[in-house]
Amino acid sequence: MLTGRPPFRGENDFLTFQQILSHDSDAMEFPAHIPEAARDLIRRLLVLDLDARLTDYDTIQAHPFFEGVDWTGISTATPPVVPDKTHLPTPTMVDGASPNWSLANVLNDVFGATPLLADDPRHHPIPPTSARRHSTTTSSSSILENNEGILLQADVKLHGSLFTKKARGLMFTTHGRLIVSDAKNQPPQVFQWGTNAIHIVPKNTSTFDIRY
């Protein structure tokens, strides 16, 4: 609930259970925004040693993470304000982006760049000939349009279910297209940026949804 993903996730069910059975709770890593009290609670709930694990209600409720919660009157307390729910289409989740990456930031860097940034070669579009050399597909010339360059390119993982991860290539081009390509001979998924049909929703520092 705090990070938007389960604590254990492998390439398949077997590897996930192997992580559960062999993990070291003291060595677990957390995103920077998770408070220390929450980290301690998670570690003590997931510790393998049953004698050291938090298991009874009284001990869990007394944990510092729940400081200020009136457990005796919680059933009659006024719940916090919950925003109105908005209907959203089923997302296609893409994982593996660089930390703090967002498509909005990329657009700001490219189209709203100062002259200093514009002179920086790191902000120059990658020409199609270079893109073809670095493409993760069998033939990126069939993906890119005429005079189309690549502004951003990264390897990501496409989540079709909770445990399934499939490697994909992600490209954002000078024509405003977001292309998710398969390593196999499968047609790429192309999303046109700037249309009302596509929304990029960050989930955390390494996960975002493409909703369309």
pLDDT digits (tens, 9 = 90+) for 43-68: 999 999 889 899 898 999 999 999 98
Q: How many helices (H) and strands (E) in the chain?
A: 6, 7
Amino acid at 195: T
pLDDT for 61: 93
Range from 15-19, 79-83, 103-107, 115-119 carrying the lowest mean pLDDT: 115-119
Higher pLDDT, 21 or 111: 21
Beta bridge partners of 171: 153, 179
How far is it, in rounded angstroms, from Cα 138 to Cα 182?
9
Range from 46-50, 72-76, 82-86, 96-100 carrying the lowest mean pLDDT: 96-100
Of the spans 10-14, 103-107, 157-161, which averages the highest pLDDT? 10-14
How far is it, in rounded angstroms, from Cα 62 to Cα 39?
15
Which residue, among 136, 160, 155, has the nearest Cα to 206 in the 3D structure? 155
CATH number of 92-211: 2.30.29
pLDDT for 62: 92
Beta bridge partners of 166: 158
Mean pLDDT of 135-163: 66
Domain map (residue ranges) of the chain: 1-82, 92-211
Q: Looking at domain 1-82, what is its CATH homologous superfamily?
A: Transferase(Phosphotransferase) domain 1 (1.10.510.10)
pLDDT for 164: 52
How far is it, in rounded angstroms, from Cα 180 to Cα 135?
11
Residue 191 has a CB neighbour count (10 Å cut-off) of 19
Residue 199 DSSP symbol: E
